[in-house]
Amino acid sequence: MILVTGGAGFIGANFVIDWLACSREPVLNIDKLTYAGNYGTLRPLRDDPRHVFICEDIGNRAGLDGLFAQHRPRAVVHFAAESHVDRSITGPRDFIDTNVVGTATLLDAALAYWHSLADSERSAFRFLHVSTDEVYGSLEPDAPAFSETTPYAPNSPYAASKAASDHLVRAYHHTYGLPTLTTNCSNNYGPYQFPEKLIPLMIQRALEGETLPVYGDGKNVRDWLYVGDHCSAIRAVLANGGPGRTYNIGGCNEHTNMDVVNRICTILDEVRPRPTGSYREQIAFVTDRKGHDRRYAIDATTVNRELGWSPAETFESGLLRTVRWYVDNEAWLKANLSGEYRLEYNASEPMSV
């Protein structure tokens, strides 16, 4: 069994669903179910005995100790995090509590459990920490992409909290020998993403006939990675990554925010035409985000060369799949906007250890 934290969030839920589609190995899925955790996303797994869901906080050491002792996972895949930059600017403390203190608590629990294992189990155990390219800061237009040796220079409270968690993971390997792995990924997109991030937000607002707000001049550049490709990369790192190593995972798809919004409008014009013209008519520029990083880009050479991973989706194919998914699942979007999705777990059969 593997233990996944944050497995009701966007990337975590996609990873759990993909894992159980590709493997017979069970998953212990723990998630605090904050606003970004959607238990309804896991509905396809309700009757799958390989999926055990526990509503738990990674900051609860006693709860974690009990879960490790009972389920005895061979690996931890740590997604649980606060991740929205705008929210980190207005409320940084939640990011420190979850991303820094929560990760430290999880590391302590994992280390104690690891020490309790037999030698063969200890050597096979892995702690995979999922992080972000934002820890590296902002790139100049012609600068080379972030590599695993790029110095850290986080610019937002979110990025700083993730940088701190990365350093803790590194320290637990160096100091205690805990067999850790760290991945730093570029911007993810795909199904089940909470509609506060750029791509689902633009789709949702376009379908509702609302303005499509673009920060500043719209020329901020991001490297886009389809979430299914990210999940396959994590599986590759977990299976064959070297303990103590870091692997950068990117889609090799750099686009300005304005380009992304225009592409979304083009797809929507084809799959859900407006009666009065193009969705581009809804675009509006708004005041830029504080400290908005200008460009991110990931050099994924290491994971490609050493582990044989490369993205299966182009940005064109991945974005088309994504837009069509949200158009076909407007009920999921509306449940997120109304808050109805937060009742899903309470109304379900209780699941406990």
Would you call 47 a catalytic residue per the annotation?
no
R_g of the chain, CA atoms, integer Å: 20
User: How is residue 85 written in tokens?
Assistant: 């930059």
Closest Cα partner for 161 from 221, 237, 98? Answer: 98
21, 54, 177, 288, 330 from 353: Cα distances, Å: 24, 7, 29, 46, 34
Q: Which residues contact 50 (CB under 8 A, 6 or more apart)?
A: 20, 24, 25, 26, 27
Supply the DSSP symbol for 80.
-
Q: Which of 158, 226, 296, 326 is catalytic?
A: 158
Q: Which of 57, 134, 223, 254 is catalytic?
A: 134
Closest Cα partner for 18 from 317, 353, 312? Answer: 312
Closest Cα partner for 254 from 143, 153, 136? Answer: 143
* Distance from C-alpha of 283 to C-alpha of 297, rounded to nearest angstrom: 25
Q: Which of 56, 57, 82, 133 is catalytic?
A: 133
**Do residues 215 and 178 touch, judged by C-beta distance below 8 A?**
no
Which H, E and C letters describe 153-213, residue by residue? Answer: CCCCHHHHHHHHHHHHHHHHHHHHCCCEEEEEECEEECCCCCCCCHHHHHHHHHHCCCCEE
Supply the DSSP symbol for 226.
E
* Distance from C-alpha of 207 to C-alpha of 192, rounded to nearest angstrom: 16
Would you call 158 a catalytic residue per the annotation?
yes
Residue found under tokens 């969705």: 279
* Distance from C-alpha of 187 to C-alpha of 221, rounded to nearest angstrom: 10
Catalytic residues: 133-134, 158
